[in-house]
Amino acid sequence: MFGGHRPALRNESVSPRRPLPWVLLAAIVMLVVSACGAGSTDEPGGADISSGKRHVTLIAYATPKPGFDAIIPAFRKTEQGRDVGFYQSYGASGDQSRKVARRVPADVVNFSVEPDVTRLVKAGLVDENWKKAYPNNSTPFGSVVVLVVRKGNPKNIHTWNDLLRPGISVITPNPSSSGSAKWNLLAPYAAVSDGGKNRAAGLDYVRELVRDHVRVQPSSGRAATTAFEQGQGDVLISYENEAIMLARKNASAPASQRIDYVVPSTTFKIENPVAIVNTTENRSAAEDFVSYLFTPQAQRIWAQQGFRPVDKTVAAQTADLFPGTIDKLWTIKDLGSELGKGTAAKNKGKDLTGWKAVDSALFGTSGEITKIYDAGGKQ
């Protein structure tokens, strides 16, 4: 859990725009939804969510759709949400961020990684102090990186090193489009490199993984899950919440699609931020909705949907929903403090920290993991 009361489990500038007629705006948003492959999201579970005097357009990365499908109807039953209708779009985090940067209408964004919000800050679409607007650095839920395997774990996968055994086929998205791919790679990188202290070891691991074992690179975490469900790969590196969702389907799934999952004893904490877009024409509704995400009621819903809550009390109450033993849970703060060492000369006298350090060192245009993918894992 991320509540902080106990260790996680062991194993301004406003960019102006002309007001759009609501019919045109809705049409654009629904086109985006269709383009993302999300399908119609107006009626999750048969509940109407589009009607209302006020409207919120939510653009998010692919993985939390099951959570929002439960959260949004619950919000609409509250006093603050009873007159708020929703349009939603889900897709690969980086792709979604770039769409909003190109001025696709949005009121609230929820991305897999902080740099996808930073892109909107640079575009003048999100306030620079967005992390301070809501609790927990504006992160209402999270997860950890796990290994999804076939039912019964026939390949006997338990550790990160097991992924490098001869013949093991691994599915993980491409980090150029997917935020989940970055988390997936940071987990073994941090484990093998001791939080970035031995960078060469971490990069050697990623290079061997990509070169010899990653045969499928879907565009998003959800697309990776679908590929695994269709029978591709021996192991899916994924968010814990995706693994929980798949495990809950075991009873009704064909034998070939049943899964187990392993929580590695050393893994990585996933933090997925939310922000309000400055060009929103429904700020009060957007603020009411984002505030609701941090309430105890919403936190319990996140937990029930497989996402780790950040509220301390709810985390304690729902701890049994997240089995496994984690001995070391690395964080972006941990890794950034190590990878940012020695960067002050190029950054106005201060070493980079957090995602800025990690992205610059590993995933930026000249980042080391970017180079590995560009070379197909070859040196």
- Distance, in Å, from the CA atom of 299 to the CA atom of 293, rounded to the nearest integer, reads 7
**DSSP one-letter string for 218-240:** -SSHHHHHHHHHTT--SEEEEEH
Question: Once rounded to an integer, what is the mean pLDDT over residues 220-239?
Answer: 94
pLDDT for residue 312: 94
What are the tens digits of pLDDT across the range 243-291? 999 999 999 999 999 999 999 999 999 999 999 999 999 999 999 999 9
Task: Read off the DSSP letter of residue 44.
Answer: G
The reported pLDDT for the residue numbered 220 is 87
Lowest mean pLDDT of 40-44, 236-240, 292-296, 326-330, name the range. 40-44
Nearest to 355 by CA among 323, 327, 333: 333
State whether residue 137 is helix, strand or coil: helix
For residue 353, what are its two tokens?
């920290």
Given a cut of 50, whether residue 187 has pLDDT beyond it is yes
Domain residue ranges of the chain, discontinuous segments joined by + = 22-139+272-319, 143-269
Query: Mean pLDDT over residues 303-310, rounded?
Result: 97
Confidence bin at 35 (pLDDT 50/70/90)? very low
Global pTM? 0.85
Which CATH superfamily hosts domain 143-269? Periplasmic binding protein-like II (3.40.190.10)
From the number of C-beta atoms within 10 Å of its C-beta (0-12, 13-18, 19+), residue 98 rates as middle
Looking at residue 21, the DSSP 8-state letter turns out to be P
Higher pLDDT: 338 or 216? It is 338
Higher pLDDT, 23 or 154: 154
Per mean pLDDT, which range of 23-32, 82-91, 95-104, 305-314 is the poorest?
23-32
Average confidence score pLDDT of the chain: 89
Q: What DSSP string runs through 47-66?
A: ---S-SSEEEEEEEESTTHH
Tens-place pLDDT, residues 114-167:
999 999 999 999 999 999 999 999 999 999 999 999 999 999 999 999 999 999
More confident residue, 19 or 324: 324
* Pairwise CA distance, residues 11 & 28, whole Å: 44
Can 22-139+272-319 and 143-269 be said to share one CATH topology? yes
User: What is the C-alpha separation between 109 and 94, in angstroms, rounded?
Assistant: 12
Residue keyed to tokens 């301004």 = 12
CATH number listed for the domain at residues 22-139+272-319: 3.40.190.10
pLDDT computed for residue 3 by the predictor: 60
State how far the Cα of 332 lies from the Cα of 339, in Å rounded to an integer.
Answer: 10
Any idea which of 3-7, 208-212, 297-301 has the lowest mean pLDDT? 3-7
Read off the pLDDT band of 18 (50, 70, 90). Answer: very low
Residue among 103, 91, 266 nearest 179 (CA): 91
For the chain, list the strands marked E by DSSP: 54-61, 84-91, 108-110, 141-150, 170-171, 214-216, 235-239, 259-262, 266-271, 274-276, 308-309, 328-330
Of the candidates 7, 3, 10, the one whose C-alpha atom is nearest the C-alpha of residue 313 is: 3
CA distance 98 to 22: 23
Position 8 pLDDT exceeds 50? no
